[in-house]
Structure formats: structure tokens, C-alpha cells
Amino acid sequence: MNYFNYQDDHLCCESVPVARIAEEVGTPFYLYSAATLTRHFQAMDDAFADLPHLTCFAVKACANLAVLNIFASLGGGADIVSGGELYRAIKAGMAPGRIVYSGVGKTAAEIEMAIKAGILMFNVESSQELDTIQAVATALGGTAPISLRVNPDVDPKTHAYISTGLAKNKFGVPMETAAALYRQAASMPNIVIKGLSCHIGSQLTEMSPFLESLRKMKAFMARLEAAGIKISYLDLGGGLGIRYDDEDPPHPAAYAAAIKAELGDTNRTLVLEPGRVIVGNAGILVTRVLYTKANQLKKFIVVDAGMNDLGRPSLYGAFHAIQPVHRTTMATAKADLVGPICETGDFLARDRELPLAKAGDLLAIMSAGAYGFSMSSNYNSRPRVAEVLVNGQHFQVIRTRETYETLVQGESIPVFPENDRPLA
């Protein structure tokens, strides 16, 4: 459930009409509902309330400080994948002891920053990464907490680009070699083994892959403990899907119930890394129609948001519902909703029955809170859009629209000495 609803045919975010925000902020902009963010975080967190657990929001899904701060204030932690995300999480008020660090390519500088910050654990993805962590911890004269991210080789039945737990994916350590790597880690003087982790993919709409992975993790954990390696934290990753169109993913409560039934009694702390299920339906992208046009084959609605603002339709063929901000008895027709980017792949909806909006109308691109703004770019030299947060009757810009000045910030036209030029 979310708080984007029509009141007298005007789309509102909580109690604020979306059109009013558009008047003040201009378009396009991302719009988040604080009540929805809170509700979705708590749905996941409460579902595991009877077990020791930590809900570490996957920062990559939506990294704005204001959004992270809401989860920090609800007792959440963060799943990070870069030094930049660590910086954001801490700046937003996340306790370092509630931060887990995943990703296949952590640099020595990022590892140093995370050890100094005092994060809960690194989810280590290779033996060379483990060596680097040991070396950095030694240089700092301290220890580094780790878990190994294993690759359980489970098919998550999702889009190929966002499946991560198959042997052919770059993520994690195969279970066959992970036991040896744990033994190696146990012998390293500056490494402290904390946990075992996995993450098999994103936008999963069925329980079976999660449970298959958990079964393998449980069996593996038993082997480790028999070998005298103590696992205090079991990190199950994220991946629970949401409804964009007609999907029917399990509710967090059902997800948790199934996990707990499979897990049985445990004295370990569960770590969860949800991203999309918390923010996906808590955010929309609001855009204005610039032009409409038609040719002998198709109708096009040209809007002021493009693939640089929301890349998911172009990248994954993802579906996002399109709703008019002012609901009228508008006719619908099969059309493409396209942006201003100079690429045929620049579409937000293709061959879809859409409201036949006219120039000046506002449209809402729904379910855009996860991997929307966080994946946006400056392609075609377009300043990134504003982000706005609604709380009840109030709204606030939580990231200002970029300007042409910020667009070229850090760039310079070099002046080389004349004689350095290559000879003609």
C-alpha cells in the first residue's frame, strides 16, 4: 500500500496535490512519500521482530540523505557497495555498526575508510579481496570484520541483468571454495569472521529461489560450524520484488514467515538487505508533456523526462504504470511515451495503452522510487532533476535541480605549452 492517491481526480502524495509541487518545483522531479517509506520499512522490519535481526537498506536503490535518514531514525542500517555510499550512510545518521559492505570491487582506499568507520562487516567476494582487507587492517594496526558472500548457484527467475546468484554471475565465492577461504580467513591475524552472506538477485516474485538458497546456506553453515568456524550473522541479501504491473510478489510478512519456517531455531542475527521493496512504490517521477505527434504507424507522447532520468525501461524493458496527474475522462490510445534524448531507446513506455495527454499535461511515472534517481545521469547534458519529499501536508525539496553551472563543474579547458603540441 502506498500514499499516492486521487482526491477529486487530482493525484496527491499523502495530502499534497502533485500539481502544486510541479508548479513550485518545475518538472521533471522525483517525488517520495515519507509515510510510504516508513510503512514499507516497518513492514519488513516488523516481519522479523521476533528474531534478532538488522534491516540494512540497500543504499543503491535510493541514496538521498533524507531518505536514508528516515530509515536511520527507524533503527535501520545500510547495505553499501562503495565509499560514496558509506559517506552518504554515515552523513544521513546511520550507525556504522549497522552497515554491511558488499560488492566485487572494493578498493584499498574504500576498505580503509570502512575499517576506520567501524562497519559491522565486509561481505567479501573473492580471495584477493580478503588479502587486501587483511593487508589494510594490518597497516592500520587493527582488525577487520568479515563475512564471505557465497554464490549459492540458484536461479532467481528474474531479468538476466539483475540475477546475481548463478554460477555464471560475477558475484560471490562458489560454495565449493568458500570453506577453504573461511579456513584461510580464520588463520589471518587481522581478520575477524562474523558471518555468512548471499544475495541472489533482484525483483524476485516467488519464494522458492530464496528458500532454495537458504537451504544451501544452512547446510553450509553447519559444515562451517563443525569445522569450528562460528557464524554470528546470517545475511540473506535483498531481492524481494514489488508490483509494477500485475506481478504478485509475496508480502514481506509472508516472505518472513517462509524464511523463518525454513530457518528453524537459530541463535544468529539475521541481516536483510532490502532495497526495492521499501522504496520502489514510495516514489514517482513527475513529468510534463511537451508535444504529441503521430506518423502512419504510431503515436508518440513526448515528455520532458528521458532515459537519463529513469533508465529502467530502456535498460531492462521494465514496465512502469503511467497515470495522469489530473484524471479526466481522457481517451486512451496505443502510444509510446518518449523523452527528449537522441536515442531510439529513449522511451518510458512503448506500445502501451496510454492516456492521450496533450502538451502541458502532467503525467506520473509510477513505482520509480527504486533505481530511478540513483541510476540517473547527465546524458545529453541534462541537469539531473529535483527530488522532493512529502510528509503529510508538507513537502520539501531534498535535492535541488542541477543547473548548467553544476553540469560543467570540475571541467576545464586546458592550456598546454605551445611546444607540447604534436607536430602537424
198 an active-site residue? Answer: no
Among 28, 145, 195, 239, binds ligand LLP (CB under 6 A): 239
Q: DSSP character for 30? A: E
- Of the candidate spans 89-97, 220-228, 267-275, 385-393, the one that interacts with ligand LLP by CB under 6 A turns out to be 267-275
* Minimum separation from the CB atom of position 99 to ligand LLP (A): 13
DSSP secondary structure, 55-107, as one string: EEEEGGG---HHHHHHHHHTT-EEEE-SHHHHHHHHHTT--GGGEEE--S---
Continuous segment of H or E residues that includes residue 127: helix 127-140
- Of the candidate spans 29-37, 88-96, 196-204, 385-393, the one that interacts with ligand LLP by CB under 6 A turns out to be 196-204
Continuous segment of H or E residues that includes residue 285: strand 283-294
Rg (CA), the chain: 23
Q: Where are the beta strands (DSSP E) in 8-153?
A: 10-13, 16-17, 29-33, 53-58, 77-80, 99-101, 121-124, 144-151
The answer to whether 122 contacts ligand LLP (rule: CB under 6 A) is no
**Residue number, 240 or 335, with CB nearest to ligand LLP:** 240
**Cα(13)–Cα(38) distance, integer angstroms:** 14
* Minimum separation from the CB atom of position 267 to ligand LLP (A): 24
The answer to whether 203 contacts ligand LLP (rule: CB under 6 A) is yes
**Cα(197)–Cα(211) distance, integer angstroms:** 14
Among 276, 288, 320, 382, binds ligand LLP (CB under 6 A): 276
User: Per-residue x/- mask for ligand LLP, residues 132 to 161, rule CB under 6 A?
Assistant: ------------------------------
**Residue number, 33 or 82, with CB nearest to ligand LLP:** 82
How many CB atoms neighbour CB 150 within 10 A? 28
* Minimum separation from the CB atom of position 165 to ligand LLP (A): 10
Q: Is the dihedral of CA 69, 56, 84, 86 positive or negative?
A: positive
Among 72, 162, 231, 388, binds ligand LLP (CB under 6 A): 162
* Minimum separation from the CB atom of position 9 to ligand LLP (A): 31
169 phi, psi to nearest 5 deg: -85, 155
The answer to whether 199 contacts ligand LLP (rule: CB under 6 A) is yes
Footprint on this chain of ligand LLP (rule: CB under 6 A):
58, 61, 79, 102, 162, 164, 199, 202-203, 237-240, 273-277, 312, 316, 370-371, 375
**Catalytic residue list:** 342
